[in-house]
């Protein structure tokens, strides 16, 4: 299908993921409908313009007086066609934006004006994202400063990244190669230079690439080092004199807050606990935790989350 | 002497009068969207942070708020009285009523200024020594931001209303408003009443809700 | 009752003064309350801003000829596209048809001597001019680089442009919009001539009326939104700052709650103009008059419920996305009805191809293309790929420029004899109209391709693989620039040397054609009495078409 497209439309862009195939199909469907409507309409206008031009001898008697049945007819047809397109697009959107359970999470931080990528095994990349062919990947993304947007045209996916929020994208690469990453939300002077590339490699090449990377500890291990370095264990450690919530097994658990509400301890919760601690205080504890905003970046927060997750995860309820 | 002929685009004085009032109603519709937009944004945050907003609201000076509400409601009454006196040909009483209305408006503003000063002393002015206890600071500060934004805009509208009233007072004093033709006064009355209604909504959002919860 | 068709085209021009020659002093212009003069004041102002925005566009297209982007640096480029958007949206497109053609024609078309509130009308122009001065200050002082959308936190906490000045310019401009809209609503309700019922109103008046409803209800929300953003920037208090519990997405919701209806403010008057042009030049009543009025109302109302389609990838919930996509498809239906009705109006008409008709037909084509691509971006899964790319840029330029600007030029050419009392060179106008259509397509169609290929918006430089499309687009832009400049010459020439126009050179049916060209100061010596609906064109047995005027 992709080859046929490239043959007929020489400038057709690369499609390199399962998500891309789905969007291609929808776009081609839309383009067909659009072309039909345009040709039909332009054609009629041209036909009438010629046939009924001033001075032509076409029959102009019996002009349509009752217009209602025509109008109801084409309104109904239009509505029906539009609703079909809507359902098709909505269904695919739900599929695109609701990632299936995926083990391989890669963390992305957008900041003026670069993309920082962290793999769970600790490999770091700047403006590049290496992924193995045929495996599901889930991106967890945030921004360090302003709103950016992570866009991979060849995968036909995009999502804005905002400060203090985690957004996700997922895909399965289906073609080896290098594909552009763009920032798609205006973010300042060098917005246009905030580009990168996704490198899809077959399994063997990917393993080789991994082993060629500088040795590093895993994200969780880096998080543990940070945990000690920043003094977190001083309060949250086992022998601490300070009354602070224990973190073993907290990830994924329901937490009761001091204002009476209950939240699940997900990535966002842990992020906010570190950077905006006074916004959510666990019931039964004092709001004495200092904020680390400004001291550590979003990429460091990912490490801490990975570490806390490694301390034990409560199973999420099945939806 | 005021003109007894309608402007050229109108067939009758009655048409001119109805048109002026319709115009004011359309303008008030824009004001509904204006203040409504602010209130909607406020509600979005309030439902996100109920505890913080309740704690922040508890610091508002309800006594002044309540007195101000009474002042404005009374002023709407005196405004309506002024229109009534004019319509039945009692210009002196009308003028007196208008002066009273403006006076109540000025009293509102004076109490508002006092309230702002008390708020400053209570450390609830954002960015100027803001403090709050027991709840996260951020959302509490958000409440107070909205408070100053909304009441500030309301105060500007009220000031404009007082200026308009001053003009009305002069007109009325010079007996320029006739029983059968006093468009400007009716339209000013509509505006004044609307500012009053906006205040009633703001009052409900700013003062009592938090106290009921806590 | 016998209806003898009156041949208005052969009446001699009126003796006596008209609204232009009534008084010549500057004071009589700057303190006028005559809606026709105020229309010309607005015409002068928005033409200035059309050039300002056009210069920005020229520089943008020159920059994008090469991928390296060496004409201007990134900071200047970012300010250029921002000012292009701000100026074109608020200082050209929104006031264009309502404040010029609307101001001039609405009282004439309904048989009134002026608008309901003439002084408010003049105030609207002064407020517009004030806002214009503020925006020029913002440009000259160094400009803004946030994009016309002013997204936080970049605008409120990071940008080093003159954000507050630009925001204040737009804020003040909003009052002008509101006053103009208010005037039209009240005028349409209260000042219709005897016999002019709602369903006898020309569709142009319906277009202006529905536009005014949107203007009046949507603009206040923009005012408070820009106020909140400016407060955040000036006072460093975070309405939309996550660190304080705020939400930048709330800014987007508030901004687009206005800005989506704003695009309907830009298109509804254009649709009204087209509905005047096609019946006149096809010598046939518009197909489905009532359907057309309901469509205008439906677009105005439903247009308030689709704003979230600008935010499908912004981080709103999937369910919000679904609702907004659904509503976006619904709002497309009345637009489609209008296109079908215009096409059906041509059927069995007697069609001539003067410049106004060419612009109108151009509108129908370009609006259709823009509209079907609107379907594409309304489709959720497709929009994930297409949003924030040149596809969207192409889509809205097809509607705003291919649509609104074409209709504006068409209306200008149609009512030029009425406004100025002069006829212009027919062939020159036809050439300009054709050149516009061709230049426009060449400029913006390649941008659809660029968008699907993945070229993002607001990029001062780009990967070389996109260059061929950018070159095509810039080439088209140069043609479009000529096409837009041409009318200046032959219309200007007509003011001095054009033949004088009769009251009804097009043999059309509206009330505006029953008075002299140019009209006298108070429009009609006697208020007309309306006896029939608009567009009463008929064909007699011998094939001659004739028109029955409304009064």
Residues with Cβ within 8 Å of residue A84, at least 6 apart in sequence: none
C451-465: per-residue pLDDT in tens? Answer: 999 999 999 999 999
Does some domain include residue C26? no
Domain ranges of chain A: 2-51+67-97, 105-212, 219-310
pLDDT exceeds 80 at position C531: yes
pLDDT, average across residues C371-391: 97
Distances from the Cα of C421 to the Cαs of C274, C352, C504, in angstroms? 22, 22, 10
Largest CA distance in chain B: 66
C243 vs A contacts (CB less than 8 Å): 164, 276, 293
- Give the CA angle between residues A270, A275, A281 to the nearest 5°: 65
A22 vs C contacts (CB less than 8 Å): 381
CA-wise closest residue to C366 among C284, C476, C453, C460: C476
Q: What is the pLDDT of residue B3?
A: 56
Cβ contact, residue pair C186, B26, below 8 Å: yes
Q: What is the pLDDT of residue B8?
A: 87
Interface confidence, given as ipTM, is 0.93
Structure letter (DSSP) for residue C403: I
| CB-facing half-sphere around the CA of C172: CA atoms within 13 A | 18
Which band of pLDDT confidence, cut at 50, 70 and 90, is reported for residue C6?
Answer: very low
Q: Using CB atoms within 10 A of its CB, is residue C2 exposed (0-12), middle (13-18) or buried (19+)?
A: exposed
> How many angstroms separate the CA of residue B96 from the nearest CA in chain C?
30
Which band of pLDDT confidence, cut at 50, 70 and 90, is reported for residue A315?
Answer: low
Beta bridge partners of C537: C547
Beta strands A196-201; A128-132: pairing state: parallel
Which band of pLDDT confidence, cut at 50, 70 and 90, is reported for residue A81?
Answer: very high
Tell whether omega for the bond before B196 is within 30 degrees of 0, i.e. cis: no
> How many angstroms separate the CA of residue B208 from the nearest CA in chain A?
20
Which band of pLDDT confidence, cut at 50, 70 and 90, is reported for residue A316?
Answer: low
pLDDT exceeds 50 at position C291: yes
Touching check for A291 and chain B: CB below 8 Å? no
Cβ contact, residue pair A279, B50, below 8 Å: no
How far is it, in rounded angstroms, from Cα B94 to Cα B100? 10
Length of chain C: 551
How far is it, in rounded angstroms, from Cα C244 to Cα B146? 13
- Which of A67, A83, A89 is facing C382, going by the closest CB pair? A89
C332-369: per-residue pLDDT in tens? Answer: 999 999 999 999 999 999 999 999 999 999 999 999 99
> How many angstroms separate the CA of residue B38 from the nearest CA in chain A?
24
pLDDT exceeds 50 at position A61: yes
Kindly list the structural domains of chain B, giving each domain's residue range(s) and its CATH number in brackets, ordered by start: 32-213 (1.20.120.80)
Structural domain boundaries, residue C449 = 35-548
Intra-chain end-to-end CA distance of chain B, in Å: 60
Beta strands A137-143; A167-171: pairing state: antiparallel
Q: What is the CATH number of domain A105-212?
A: 2.60.40.420
CATH 1.10.3720.10 is the classification of domain A219-310: no
Q: What is the pLDDT of residue C235?
A: 84
A127-162: per-residue pLDDT in tens? Answer: 999 999 999 999 999 999 999 999 999 999 999 999
CA-wise closest residue to A100 among A68, A63, A136, A143: A136
Locate the chain C residue with the closest alpha carbon to A11: C453
Touching check for C38 and chain B: CB below 8 Å? no
C-beta separation of A128 from A197 below 8 A = yes
How far is it, in rounded angstroms, from Cα A176 to Cα A121? 22
- Which of A279, A281, A287 is facing B138, going by the closest CB pair? A279
How far is it, in rounded angstroms, from Cα C182 to Cα A136? 56
Cβ contact, residue pair B141, C237, below 8 Å: yes
Chain C neighbours, 3+ Cβ pairs < 8 A: A, B
pLDDT, average across residues C56-80: 95
CA-wise closest residue to A159 among A86, A90, A88, A93: A93
Please report which helix (H) or strand (E) contains residue B2, including its range. Answer: none
Which band of pLDDT confidence, cut at 50, 70 and 90, is reported for residue A317?
Answer: low
% of chain A exceeding 90 in pLDDT: 73
Distances from the Cα of A289 to the Cαs of A93, A222, A276, A281, C458, in angstroms? 40, 22, 9, 9, 42
B138 vs C contacts (CB less than 8 Å): 238, 243-246
C111-137: per-residue pLDDT in tens? Answer: 999 999 999 999 999 999 999 999 999
Tell whether omega for the bond before C153 is within 30 degrees of 0, i.e. cis: yes
Cβ contact, residue pair B41, C113, below 8 Å: no
Cβ contact, residue pair A192, C458, below 8 Å: yes
Same fold flag, A105-212 and A219-310:
no
How far is it, in rounded angstroms, from Cα C125 to Cα C99? 9
pLDDT exceeds 70 at position A58: yes
Measured torsion, CA atoms of residues A88, A89, A91, A95, in degrees rounded to the nearest 10: 140
Mean pLDDT check: name the lowest of B11-20, C319-328, C389-398, C462-471.
B11-20
CA-wise closest residue to C217 among B33, A57, A182: B33
C247-262: per-residue pLDDT in tens? Answer: 999 999 999 999 999 9
C-beta separation of C233 from C157 below 8 A = yes
| Domain tally, chain C | 1
C-beta separation of C72 from C59 below 8 A = yes
Cβ contact, residue pair B138, A278, below 8 Å: yes
Pairs of residues, one from chain A and one from chain C, whose beta carbons lie less than 8 Å apart: 261
Which band of pLDDT confidence, cut at 50, 70 and 90, is reported for residue C194?
Answer: very high
Touching check for A279 and chain B: CB below 8 Å? yes
Touching check for B23 and chain C: CB below 8 Å? yes
Q: What is the dihedral sign for C-alpha C35, C39, C40, C41?
A: positive
The gap from C-alpha B134 to its chain's centroid, in whole angstroms, comes to: 33
DSSP calls for B79-131: HHHHHHHHHTT-HHHHHHHHHHHHHHHHHHHHHHHHHHHHHHHTT-STTSS--
CA-wise closest residue to C444 among C484, C485, C402: C402
Average pLDDT, rounded, for chain A: 92
B158-179: per-residue pLDDT in tens? Answer: 999 999 999 999 999 998 888 8
Touching check for B127 and chain C: CB below 8 Å? yes
Mutate to test the interface with A, among C291, C325, C379 (most CBs of A within 10 A): C379
Q: What is the pLDDT of residue C370?
A: 97
Chain A neighbours, 3+ Cβ pairs < 8 A: B, C
pLDDT exceeds 60 at position C433: yes
| Domain harbouring C68, CATH code | 1.20.210.10
Does some domain include residue C18? no
Mutate to test the interface with A, among C241, C385, C395, C468 (most CBs of A within 10 A): C385
Which band of pLDDT confidence, cut at 50, 70 and 90, is reported for residue B212?
Answer: low
Phi first, then psi: what are they for B131, rounded to 5°? -140, 145
């Amino acid at each position: 299908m992709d080859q046929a497209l490239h043959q007929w439309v020489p400038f057709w862009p690369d499609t390199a993921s399962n998500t891309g195939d789905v969007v291609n199909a929808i776009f081609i469907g839309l383009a067909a409908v659009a072309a039909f409507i345009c040709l039909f309409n332009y054609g009629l206008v041209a036909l009438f313009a010629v046939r009924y031009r001033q001075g032509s001898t076409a029959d102009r008697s019996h002009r349509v007086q009752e217009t209602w049945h025509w109008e109801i007819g084409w309104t109904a047809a239009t509505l029906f066609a539009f609703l079909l397109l809507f359902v098709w697009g909505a269904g695919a959107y739900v599929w695109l934006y609701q990632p299936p359970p995926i083990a391989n999470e890669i963390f992305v931080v957008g900041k003026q004006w670069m993309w920082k990528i962290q793999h769970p095994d600790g490999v770091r990349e700047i403006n590049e994202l290496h992924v193995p062919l045929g495996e599901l990947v889930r991106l967890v993304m945030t921004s360090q400063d302003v709103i950016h947007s992570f866009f991979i045209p060849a995968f036909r996916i995009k999502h804005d990244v905002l400060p203090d929020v985690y957004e996700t994208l997922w895909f399965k690469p289906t073609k080896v190669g290098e594909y552009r990453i763009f920032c798609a939300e205006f973010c300042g002077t060098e917005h246009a230079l905030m580009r990168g590339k996704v490198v899809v490699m077959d399994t063997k090449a990917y393993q080789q690439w991994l082993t060629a990377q500088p040795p590093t500890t895993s994200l969780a291990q880096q998080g543990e080092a940070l945990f000690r370095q920043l003094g977190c264990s001083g309060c949250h450690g086992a022998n601490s004199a300070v009354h602070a919530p224990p973190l073993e097994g907290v990830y994924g658990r329901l937490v009761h807050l001091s204002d009476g509400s209950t939240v699940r301890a997900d990535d966002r919760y842990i992020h906010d606990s570190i950077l905006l601690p006074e916004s959510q205080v666990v019931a039964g504890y004092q709001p004495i935790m200092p904020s680390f905003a400004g001291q550590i970046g979003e990429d460091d927060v990912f490490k801490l989350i990975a570490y806390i997750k490694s301390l034990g995860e409560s199973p999420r309820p099945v939806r | 002497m005021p003109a007894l002929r309608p402007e050229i685009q109108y067939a009758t004085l009655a048409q001119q009068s109805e048109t002026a009032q319709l115009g004011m109603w359309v303008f008030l519709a824009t004001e509904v969207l204006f203040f409504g937009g602010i209130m909607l944004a406020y509600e979005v945050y309030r439902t996100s942070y109920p505890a913080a907003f309740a704690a922040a609201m508890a610091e508002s000076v309800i006594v002044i708020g309540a007195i101000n509400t009474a002042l404005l409601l009374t002023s709407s009454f005196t405004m309506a009285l002024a229109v009534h006196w004019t319509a039945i040909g009692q210009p002196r009483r009308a003028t007196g009523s208008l002066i009273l209305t403006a006076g109540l408006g000025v009293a509102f503003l004076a109490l508002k200024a006092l309230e702002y000063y008390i708020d400053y002393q209570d450390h609830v002015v954002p960015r100027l020594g803001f403090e709050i206890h027991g709840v996260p600071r951020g959302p509490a500060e958000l409440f107070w931001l909205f408070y100053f934004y909304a009441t500030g805009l309301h105060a500007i509208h009220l000031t404009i209303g007082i200026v308009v009233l001053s003009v009305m007072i002069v007109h009325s004093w010079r007996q320029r408003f006739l029983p059968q033709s006093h468009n400007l006064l009716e339209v000013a009355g509509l505006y004044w009443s609307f500012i009053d209604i906006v205040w009633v909504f703001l009052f409900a959002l700013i003062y009592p809700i938090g106290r009921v919860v806590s | 009752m016998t209806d003898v068709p009156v041949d208005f085209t052969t009446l001699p021009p009126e003796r006596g003064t008209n609204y232009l020659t009534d008084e010549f002093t500057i004071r009589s212009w700057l303190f006028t309350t005559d809606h026709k003069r105020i229309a010309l004041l607005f015409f002068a102002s928005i033409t200035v801003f059309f050039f300002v925005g056009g210069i920005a566009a020229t520089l943008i297209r020159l920059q994008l000829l090469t991928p390296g982007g060496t004409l201007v640096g990134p900071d200047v480029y970012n300010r250029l596209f921002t000012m292009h958007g701000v100026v074109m949206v608020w200082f050209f497109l929104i006031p264009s048809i309502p404040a010029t053609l609307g101001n001039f024609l609405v009282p004439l078309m309904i048989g009134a001597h002026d608008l309901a509130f003439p002084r408010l009308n003049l105030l609207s122009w002064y407020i517009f001019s004030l806002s214009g001065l503020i925006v020029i200050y913002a440009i000259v002082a160094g400009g803004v680089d946030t994009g016309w959308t002013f997204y936080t936190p970049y605008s409120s906490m990071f940008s080093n442009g003159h954000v507050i000045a630009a925001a204040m310019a737009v804020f003040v401009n909003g009052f002008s919009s509101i006053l103009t809209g208010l005037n039209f609503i009240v005028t349409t309700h209260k000042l219709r001539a005897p016999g002019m019922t709602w369903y006898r109103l020309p569709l142009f008046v319906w277009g202006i009326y529905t536009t005014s409803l949107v203007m009046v209800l949507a603009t206040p929300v923009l005012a408070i939104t820009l106020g909140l953003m400016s407060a955040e920037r000036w006072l460093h208090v975070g309405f939309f700052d996550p660190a304080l519990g705020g939400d930048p997405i709330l800014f987007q919701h508030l901004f687009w709650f206005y800005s989506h209806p704003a695009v309907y403010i830009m298109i509804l008057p254009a649709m009204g103009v087209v509905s005047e042009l096609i019946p006149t030049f096809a010598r046939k009543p518009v197909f489905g008059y009532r359907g057309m009025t309901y469509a205008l109302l439906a677009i105005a109302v439903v247009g308030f419920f689709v704003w979230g389609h600008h935010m499908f990838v912004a981080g709103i919930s999937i369910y919000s996305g679904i609702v907004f996509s659904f509503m976006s498809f619904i709002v497309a239906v009345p637009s489609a009805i209008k296109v079908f009705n215009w096409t059906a109006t041509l059927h069995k008409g007697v069609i001539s191809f003067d410049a106004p008709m060419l612009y109108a037909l151009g509108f129908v084509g370009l609006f259709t293309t823009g509209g079907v691509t609107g379907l594409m971006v309304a489709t959720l899964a497709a929009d994930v790929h297409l949003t924030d790319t040149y596809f969207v840029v192409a889509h809205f330029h097809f509607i705003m420029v291919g649509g609104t600007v074409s209709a504006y030029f068409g209306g200008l050419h149609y009512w030029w004899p009425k406004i100025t009392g002069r006829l212009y060179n027919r062939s020159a106008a036809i050439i300009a109209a054709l050149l516009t259509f061709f230049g426009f397509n060449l400029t913006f169609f390649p941008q659809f391709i660029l968008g699907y290929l993945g070229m993002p918006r607001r990029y001062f430089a780009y990967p070389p693989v996109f260059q061929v499309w950018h070159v095509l687009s810039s080439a088209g832009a140069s043609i479009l620039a000529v096409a837009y400049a041409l009318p200046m010459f032959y219309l200007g020439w007509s003011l001095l040397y054009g033949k004088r126009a009769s009251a009804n050179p097009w043999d059309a049916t509206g009330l505006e054609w029953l008075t002299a060209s140019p009209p006298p100061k108070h429009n009609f010596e006697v208020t007309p009495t309306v006896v029939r609906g608009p567009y009463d064109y008929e064909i007699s047995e011998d094939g001659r078409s004739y028109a029955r005027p409304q009064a």
